A = this chain, B = another copy of it.
Amino acid sequence: MTPGGTPAGSAPDQELLARAALTRVFEPGDEQAGRWLTRYGAAGLMRRLTGPAGDRGLDGVGPERLDGYRRRAAAADPAADLVLIREAGGRFVGPGSVEWPSQLDDLGDARPVGLWVRGGPDLRVWALRSVALVGARACTPYGAHMAQILGAGLAERGWVVVSGGAFGIDAAAHRGALAAGGATAAVLACGVDTPYPRAHAGLLGRIAGQGLVLAELPPGSHPTRSRFVLRNRVIAALTRGTVVVEAAYRSGSLVTARRARRLGRFVMGVPGPATSGLSAGVHELLRTDATLVTDADEVVELVGRIGELAPERRGPVLPHDLLPPAAARVLEALPAGRPADVGEVALAAGTGTDEVIGRLYELHSLGFVERRDGGWRLTGPPGDGATRTGGDRRGGH
């Protein structure tokens, strides 16, 4: 992949540039916009929105709304936004990009126009082995504790913890993963350069340093109530499953969970006291169509069921030669026959620990390494005849 996650070639770049512009035109999840994108492509849609008014086939919305789109399209400056995101250590990825997580396509017409991303790891690879932990902002100490130990436990088992960067359950989940030296991604309802809530500026900075911060909205955007709700569908679609840790009746986390269910993802809930209003929503979910989980092992048991997504059982699924160079360097730095900690690998690879963590989770998703006894090691020989190009790298363990 080319730097910045944009696909190679000029025509796709034009598409991606147009998509970057369109994130300033449409609100997240606009299904009419999704249909137009399918019909005209991003560049074609931008031409229709910025060209002279008249019959351009932009049907399905009233003239006032269309005027709004046209005004915002005229004002968009995607090249400037791309400079902005690059300065913030980020990039813009769209459905044409190598880094695009194709499971987002399950959202159909509500698929994000594109994603603004901060952080080193490859979003597509990380998302392959990710679980969402969501729940109440005003959680109880019990809920925060459970989110933290689940976040840490999932990270320790090589899973990426995805949440929304909010107070309460979200923050505890991110912090649990970070504290375990693990992988975490925050999906925001505002620009990735806009720390919201403000008190989480430091936390979001750490997430962007060690993991990923992403958003549909372009840099500088502020969150609104509807943007929070629509953000939830990205969390639901991006991950293999969603765990609701604490949620009152009619909470937004339940919306995320039900969306995940409709998308065919695993939906899980953490039980709590029947006397707790903040567990009432979870219990309602568990009474209908969610699986009760009490620890990270139970989560992994469920979400790791499908062989394709548990490649460590079969060995790597990607030839070593096709690894991104940075990931290949980290793979080379791992010793044979024993686990190594992140610091040792970083020293051997000649790079920073945050970079190494990001690459190790990518390599884990791809089946080259596994997390064991607090360290990382090369995976053992696969038990069956699956693709095993990396097999010659594995020593006598």
Contact = CB atoms under 8 A, between A and B. Distances in A.
Interface stretch (A120-128, A179-187, A274-282, A321-329): A274-282
A146 B274 contact: yes
Q: How many copies does the complex hold?
A: 2
A262 to B, nearest CB: 21
Contact of A283 (B271, B280, B287): B271
Contact of A287 (B275, B279, B280, B298): B298
Given A271-B272, A274-B270, A280 B294 contact: yes
Which of A270, A272, A291 has the most B CB atoms < 10 Å from its CB? A272
Interface string A123-158: 000000000000000000010011000000000000
B275 A292 contact: no
B283 A292 contact: yes
A186 to B, nearest CB: 24
A273 B273 contact: yes
A67 to B, nearest CB: 51
A104 to B, nearest CB: 30
Interface in A258-298: 270-275, 279-280, 283, 286-287, 291-295, 298
A123 to B, nearest CB: 31
A142 B273 contact: yes
Contacts of A146: 274-275
Contacts of A287: 291-293, 298
Contacts of A272: 271-274
A293 B286 CA distance: 9
Interface of A: 142, 145-146, 270-275, 279-280, 283, 286-287, 291-295, 298
Give the top 5 A-B pairs by smallest Cβ distance, nearest first. Answer: A271-B271, A274-B294, A286-B292, A287-B292, A283-B294
14 contacts: A270-B274, A271-B273, A271-B274, A271-B279, A271-B286, A272-B272, A272-B273, A272-B274, A274-B294, A283-B292, A283-B294, A286-B292, A287-B292, A287-B293
Given A142-B273, A271-B283, A287-B291, 16 more contacts: A142-B275, A145-B275, A270-B274, A271-B272, A271-B279, A271-B292, A272-B272, A272-B273, A273-B273, A274-B294, A274-B295, A283-B292, A286-B292, A287-B292, A287-B298, A292-B292
